[in-house]
């Protein structure tokens, strides 16, 4: 009779590493199936831990989604990141909106799975019962208030940054749409597509010297 082999011990990982694995697994699953198409058990199976093991780190499925959205998607690619980049148009006293949006597009082009997750959640959140319904319903207003907190260099034809609000709204709407097209096949180059659209949003001669 063969000698029973001892079962391999489950690897005990540092809490932050395990938490990161859980969040990464959830991002992958949501980007493929949507929030409503996964369960906490699915995330647990993906990581190789128990359902309770996942809940120990995130508390609940809804809280897991909030953590992913706030810590993974919204936490990077912001104006502060742009200011730290040292890129043209990021300097104090010379902060340029078109330059920042190019920076944001490049940033998003390097995080395809998160953009796909964001796009799926944006559609799902039309449901009033979705945990991010209010977050997405107020997204445009929230972004505008956030952008308004910075001293942008804008053309003199505008009396204040408030006058640029329609342009900001259109830019964000177009960016969302272009990202959807980028996620489909045949693939397009997200940065090249934005480069072609930018002159329409920030036309010459008005925005010359302010891009």
Which CATH number does the domain 13-71 belong to among 1.10.10.60, 3.20.20.70, 3.30.1700.10, 1.10.1200.10? 1.10.10.60
Q: Residue 141 — φ and ψ, nearest 5°?
A: -65, -40
Q: What is the reported pTM?
A: 0.86
Q: CATH 1.10.10.60 spans which residues of the chain?
A: 13-71
Digit-coded pLDDT (tens) for 119-170: 999 999 999 999 999 999 999 999 999 999 999 999 999 999 999 999 999 9
DSSP string of 69-106? IIIIITTSSSHHHHHHHT-TT-STT-B-HHHHHHHHHH
Residues 72-116: tens digit of each pLDDT: 888 899 999 999 999 999 999 999 999 999 999 999 999 999 999
DSSP one-letter code for 152 = B
């Amino acid at each position: 009779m063969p000698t029973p082999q001892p079962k391999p011990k489950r690897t005990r990982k540092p809490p932050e590493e395990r938490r990161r694995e859980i969040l990464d697994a959830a991002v992958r699953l949501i980007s493929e199936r949507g929030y409503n198409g996964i369960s906490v058990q699915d995330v647990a199976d993906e990581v190789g831990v128990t359902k309770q093991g996942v809940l120990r780190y995130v508390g609940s499925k809804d809280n897991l989604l909030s953590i992913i959205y706030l810590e993974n998607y919204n936490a990077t690619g912001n104006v502060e990141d742009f200011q730290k980049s040292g890129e043209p148009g990021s300097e104090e006293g010379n902060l340029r909106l078109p330059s920042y949006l190019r920076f944001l597009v490049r940033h998003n082009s390097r995080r395809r799975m998160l953009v796909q997750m964001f796009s799926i959640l944006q559609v799902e959140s039309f449901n009033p019962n979705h945990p991010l319904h209010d977050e997405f319903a107020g997204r445009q207003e929230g972004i505008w208030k956030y952008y308004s907190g910075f001293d942008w260099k804008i053309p003199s034809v505008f009396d204040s940054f408030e006058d640029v609000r329609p342009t900001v709204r259109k830019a964000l709407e177009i960016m969302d749409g272009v990202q959807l097209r980028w996620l489909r096949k045949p693939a397009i180059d997200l940065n090249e597509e934005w480069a072609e659209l930018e002159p329409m949003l920030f036309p010459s001669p008005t925005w010359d010297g302010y891009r």
